[in-house]
């Protein structure tokens, strides 16, 4: 496939899926979501490991505000469909493969959703993690069910309301990251060597069982989708985002 927003490499039973929008700071748009779904449609039954990667300096920086701005500038009314992104993260969390997020550089907002939905999170020591949404009058409704599963309510709440970035060391202490090193590539190789002997049958059975132990991911979907739609149909929120893209000023400035 000639993908425009992701790069895909298959090595035996491992799929390397790289989020790739370098000119857009690796932000998420509808095409990226659909291309990720297409990759899973094509490979999830044959792979045992999915390695999710970004760019060396930014893993994923959340929603594409620039695209939202351009749409509004053209006078187009385009309803956001957060359900497709939530479904993508749900597939990463519950699919018949082990999902590994290999994080280098910055990860923010919706990018945290990819990380929190993963089974294993490996990071470079220099990585930075943040949720900036509340600065724009919105909150990470779709991210939080996955983040709470990983970090617990208290730490997910703190990361949300403080809106500031934390280091890989802090993310590790809080449970968002499983391991970090100066050389994350070396860390990834060591984990893959350990994981490769696992059979597809064992992974499928385990992932099904662990998801049944934590049902709230599926139950929270409708709540997350409705909250997201409400926030992004608020004209005041949209105005603040529009102004930020044009001037670089936050809504309170």
Tell me which of 180 and 217 has the higher pLDDT.
Answer: 180
Tokens 């094509």 -> residue: 42
Report the C-alpha gap between 121 and 101 in whole angstroms.
5
| Residue 133 annotated to the active site | yes
Instruction: With H, G, I as helix, E, B as strand and everything else as coil, classify residue 58.
Output: strand
Residue 135 has pLDDT above 80, yes or no: yes
State mean pLDDT over 129-158: 96
Distance CA 60, CA 128 (A): 11
Q: What is the pLDDT of residues 97-109, one digit of tens each?
A: 999 999 999 999 9
Rounded to whole angstroms, what are the CA distances from 248 to 65, 72, 207, 243, 252? Answer: 12, 17, 43, 7, 12
Q: Average pLDDT, whole number, for the chain?
A: 93
Catalytic residue among 35, 53, 64, 124: 64
Mean pLDDT of 167-186: 97
pLDDT tens per residue, range 15-58: 999 999 999 999 999 999 999 999 999 999 999 999 999 999 99
Quick one: fold of 6-183?
2-enoyl-CoA Hydratase; Chain A, domain 1 (3.90.226)
pLDDT score at 46? 96
Higher-confidence residue of 243 and 95: namely: 95
* pLDDT reported for residue 116: 98
Supply the pLDDT for residue 74.
67
Query: Could you say which of 35, 53, 124, 133 is catalytic?
Result: 133
Q: What is the pTM of this model?
A: 0.94
Average pLDDT over residues 167-196: 97
Q: How many CA atoms lie within 13 A of 187 on its CB side?
A: 20
């Amino acid at each position: 496939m000639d993908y425009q927003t992701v790069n895909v490499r298959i090595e035996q039973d491992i799929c390397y899926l790289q989020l790739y929008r370098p000119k857009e700071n690796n932000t998420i748009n509808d095409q990226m979501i659909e291309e990720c779904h297409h990759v899973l449609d094509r490979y999830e039954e044959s792979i045992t490991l999915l390695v999710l990667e970004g760019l060396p300096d930014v893993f994923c920086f959340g929603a594409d505000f620039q695209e939202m701005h351009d749409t509004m500038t053209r006078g187009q009314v385009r309803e956001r469909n957060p359900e497709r992104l939530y479904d993508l993260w749900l597939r990463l969390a519950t699919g018949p493969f082990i999902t590994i997020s290999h994080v280098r550089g910055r990860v923010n907002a919706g990018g945290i959703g990819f990380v929190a939905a993963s089974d294993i999170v490996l990071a470079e020591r220099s990585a930075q993690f943040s949720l900036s949404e509340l600065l724009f009058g919105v909150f990470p409704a779709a991210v939080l069910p996955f983040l709470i599963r990983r970090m617990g309510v208290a730490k997910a709440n703190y990361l949300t309301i403080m809106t500031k970035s934390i280091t890989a060391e802090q993310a590790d202490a809080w449970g968002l990251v499983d391991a970090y090193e100066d050389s994350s590539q070396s860390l990834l190789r060591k984990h893959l060597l350990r994981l490769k002997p696992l059979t597809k049958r064992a992974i499928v059975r385990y992932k099904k069982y662990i998801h049944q132990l934590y049902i709230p991911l599926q139950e929270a979907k409708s709540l997350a989708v409705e909250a997201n739609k409400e926030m992004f149909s608020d004209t005041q929120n949209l105005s603040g985002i529009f102004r930020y893209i044009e001037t670089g000023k936050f809504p309170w400035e």
